[in-house]
Amino acid sequence: MIKRIKLRTLLIGGCITLFFAVLMGRVFWLQVVQASFWQSHAEELWSTKKALPATRGMITDRNGDMLAVDAPAYTVAVNPEIINKYGLQDEVVEGLGKVLGKDEGELRSIVNAKKESGEFFTQREVRNEGWKIDQDLKDQVQAFIGELKEKHQDMQDVGIYLIKDQKRYYPHESIASHVLGYLDREGKAVSGLEASFDEQLKGVDGSIEYKRDGRGIEIPKASEIYNPPKDGSNLKLTIDYTIQYYIEQAMKESYDQLQPISMTVIAADPNTMEILGMANMPTYNPNEYWADVDQKNFYNHAIKSVYEPGSTFKIVTLAGAVQDGLFNPNATYKSGSIRVPGQTIHDLKRAGWGEISYLEGVKRSSNVAFVKLGYEMLGPERLKTYVDQFGFGKKTGIELPGESKGIVDPVQQADFAAMAYGHGKLLVTPLQQIVAVSAIANGGKLMEPHIVKSISDPQTGETQETKPKVVQQILTADKAKEVGNYLEQVVSDQKIGTGRHAYIDGYRVAGKTGTAVKVVNGQYDYTKQVVSFIGYAPVDDPKIAVIVLIDEPKDSELGGGTAAAPIFKKIVNQTLQYMGVPKKFEGGSADTQSSKVTATGPKVPDVGGLPVQQAKDKLAASHISYATYGKGTEILSQFPKAGSTLKAGQFVYLLTEKGSDINVPNLQGESLRDAMELLSVLQIPVTAKGEGYVVSQEVVTENGGRRVILTLEPPDKEEAPSDDGQADDAGTSGEKGENTGEDPTQDSP
């Protein structure tokens, strides 16, 4: 009996010992061998890591006007489980369908969505109509949720939610859309600067990691790991929003009338090759890119499309002949036709104009004149050298993606002859052409175009400026000036100049028309043409160069002189007035039709910090006119700055408060330049419509700030603004004329 008890005791003790041995082994295995694994698993349970998205960099115009920015957005989601539990399907489908404009059948399938197990989902996003909606639409959805809760007061949750998000927003909608590009709904950069500068713009996301208890509540004073997001860099463009607006308005006015396949305009500062404006028609709204089913509207013809340039390319031939001393404006030749190996080339007027001077040939855009200049005088190889030096056949290097290099591939002698007047085995982009004509305007320097003025880091404040880059000197300054004088006569000669419809009273304009017949199935089809005008102004001090290109206007009888030149005229006239460039008339320099001289006045004294009355007395003693804005007692700022030389009658503006706190003054009757000057002092961006003097103004709220929209009209002589000694700008109206296009016809022997 005792022996049995001992055995039983040993057995129980052994089992207990074995149990503890196994337990200790397991503890050792978990706490020592697998310690790192279980430590990580535990941290996953009590630690939460949340992504902190970086803010994408802003894109602004050269004056800081916002063109692209991240903005709050909201995604609409529904809870099918709750909606079906309380029988709200019909109300939700009908209400959200009206607010979002979504098909009710699609919405009903979302509201009734079930898992594979047969249970209703607890959350489904309403795509695409309810995805990343703006504040206005969000408010409408919120109001509908409120209506449901008011109707069903016993329910706290009606199964509709708004999830806060952010999206890319383009405040001016289609303005400069081909330059900016867009982000799709997934946040992927698709085209334009958004794509080419995606790495700099998007920044680096951050994160925060913190401890939480079993209920998911953050544990106070627990250690946190915080990696701050690095916001993307900001891009400041060379584009001027106001000039871009002028361009797009002028294009819209002509697009419906001309009904072309496409239309392209580029404006640049020829001295720096900063792109001041670039636009294409048709266009699209990057905020609603999905609404544009025709992907052709996204195409940036300015840098991607290539064309036979036609007679605008004659500028290159003329420049080469002038630089080599071969162009004698008074020498004569027989117009009409010319024979080259393999074919005969004709002028637009096949019978010609008889024996005429080469200068007249330039004005009339005679093909024969340019074949003689380029093919016979310069010779094929020298002509090809100039074409290469002007940058054709290679990319310009602009920061936009997808640029074409064009084609320069003459083989036969006839190819070289055709190239002399812009045809044959020659395809160029509009951007290449504006770069080439700018080289004439700026004194013979081929420059690299750029559209990004600076890139700034919001964290460090460091800014990388884009400096003007000279590729090479093609012409001497005096020869470039000579070419410009000949091109000016193409515009100023109102009798025979093909560019006469680009003439602007008061501004000296140089330019060239182009009408290139398109090749279809190896033959020229005279019902399909690319018409264009390219030029710059003022000739004596160029501020802007512009190309207008219209692909296949519906009326094939229209040439570059009648279709494109008036658009050029409107854009350049408005822009030069906006820039404050005074008009000059015969008999003196003037800013108005009455030819008032813009004499200079005294230097501006420093009145900053002075009491208002003391500042007024100081200016009055110097016989300087002034205008005071604000309700303060001391002068906070002044414009122009101290030491500046005033023009006759120019005002000094005195601010006693911050510009943002001052009401916009009444600008009716002011010239565009005077209005722009005052509003720039108040740091208020401006959009101007029309030409002449302000007849009405509208103040709109935009991105938390103010913008003034001015409407201008030319004055009637009897109702011209009173003469206060300030510069008054006078607009000129466009005009239509006869077809002055050029003919690339080449007859086989």
Catalytic residues, by residue number, are 311
Residue 404's alpha-carbon distances to 192, 288, 422, in angstroms, are 14, 27, 18
137 Cβ contact partners less than 8 Å away, ≥ 6 residues apart: 74, 99, 100
Residue 37's alpha-carbon distances to 41, 45, 48, 210, 225, in angstroms, are 6, 13, 18, 20, 21
Closest CA to 576 of 536, 549, 635: 536
Q: CB–CB of 276/544 below 8 Å?
A: yes
Residue 2's alpha-carbon distances to 5, 106, 175, in angstroms, are 5, 85, 104
Q: What is the DSSP string of 320-353?
A: HHHHTT---TT-EEE-SEEEETTEEEE-SSTT--
What sign does the CA torsion over 40, 41, 42, 47 have? Answer: positive
621 Cβ contact partners less than 8 Å away, ≥ 6 residues apart: none
Closest CA to 286 of 300, 276, 302: 300
Residue with tokens 């036969």: 412
Residue with tokens 């010609």: 352
Distance CA 147, CA 149 (A): 5
Report the helix count and the strand count for the chain, using DSSP H and E: 21, 34
Query: Could you count the other beta carbons within 10 Å of the beta carbon of residue 19?
Result: 10
Residue with tokens 């005294």: 602
The tokens describing 485, both together, are 């004088």
Peptide bond into 640 cis (omega under 30): yes
Pair type for strands 225-227 and 206-211: antiparallel
Q: CB–CB of 576/599 below 8 Å?
A: no
Enumerate the H helices of 101-224 as residue ranges: 104-111, 135-151, 177-180, 192-196, 198-202
610 residue type, one letter: L
Long-range contacts of 435-438 (CB under 8 A, 24+ apart): 435/268, 435/273, 435/390, 435/391, 435/396, 436/315, 436/316, 436/390, 436/391, 436/392, 437/270, 437/312, 437/315, 437/512, 437/534, 437/535, 437/536, 437/545, 437/547, 438/268, 438/270, 438/273, 438/536, 438/545
* 560 DSSP 8-state letter: I
| DSSP-assigned beta bridge partners for residue 523 | 520
Distance CA 529, CA 422 (A): 13
Closest CA to 79 of 195, 194, 167, 159: 159
| DSSP-assigned beta bridge partners for residue 621 | none
CA dihedral 612, 615, 617, 618 (to 10 degrees): 180
Please state the φ and ψ torsions of residue 491, each to the nearest 5 degrees: -95, -40
Pair type for strands 234-237 and 59-60: parallel
Closest CA to 178 of 60, 252, 280: 280
What sign does the CA torsion over 430, 435, 436, 438 have? Answer: positive
Three-state SS string over 204-235 comes to ECEEEEEEECCCCCECCCCCCEEECCECCCEE
Distance CA 307, CA 516 (A): 8
